[in-house]
A and B are shown apart, each in its own frame.
Chain A
Amino acid sequence: MNILVCISNVPDTTVRIKLADNGATIDNTGIQWIINPWDELALTRALELRDDPSSGVKQVSVAHVGLVGSEPTIRKALAIGADNAYRVNCNPADAFQTAACLTSIVKNGSFDLVLCGIESSDYNGSNVGGMLAEMLDWVSVSGVSFLKVESGSITVIREIDGGRETLQVQSPCVCVVQKGIAKEPRIAAMRGIMQARTKTIAVSEWNGTESLTTVASYQPPKARPSCKFFDADSPEKLIEALQNEAKVI
Chain B
Amino acid sequence: MQETISFAPQLGQSTIAQWLWLIPAVPILASGVIAVSKQPRRKTASALAIGSLGFSLLLALIAFAHVLSGWMNGEAVRETANFTWIQVGTSHVDLGWVLDPLSAVMLVMVTFVGLLIFIYSTGYMAHDENYTRFFCFLSLFAGAMLGVVIANSILLLFMCWELVGLTSYLLIGFWYQKPSAAAAAKKAFLTTRVGDVFFLLGIVWLFGQTGTLLFYNGGAGSMESHALLGLLLERSAFGLSAAGAIGLLIFAGAAGKSGQFPLHVWLPDAMEGPTPVSALIHAATMVAAGVYLIARVYPLMQAGALAGGTTTALTVVTWVGAFTAVFAALIAVAQNDIKRILAYSTVSQLGYMMAGLGMGGVAVGMFHLITHAFFKALLFMGAGSVIHGCHEEQDIRRMGGLKSTMRVTFLTYSTGMLALCGFPLLFSGFWSKDGILEAAQHFSLSKGPFYMLVFGALLTAFYMTRQMSYVFFGNYRGHGHAHESPKSMTMPLAILAFFAIALGAIGTPAWPWFRAFLESKAVSFEWSGFSEPGLMALMGTSTVVVLLGLSLGWWLYGNRSPRADEPDVLEAAAPLPWKWLSDRLYVDEFYGLTVIAFYSWWARVADWFDRRVWGGIVAAVAWVFSWWAQLNRFLDANVVDGSFDKGCEELSTGGGLLSRVQSGRVQTYLRLLALAVIVLAAILIWSSRA
**Is chain B found bound to chain A in the same assembly?**
no
- Taking Cβ atoms with an 8 Å cutoff, the residues of B that contact A are none
- Taking Cβ atoms with an 8 Å cutoff, the residues of A that contact B are none
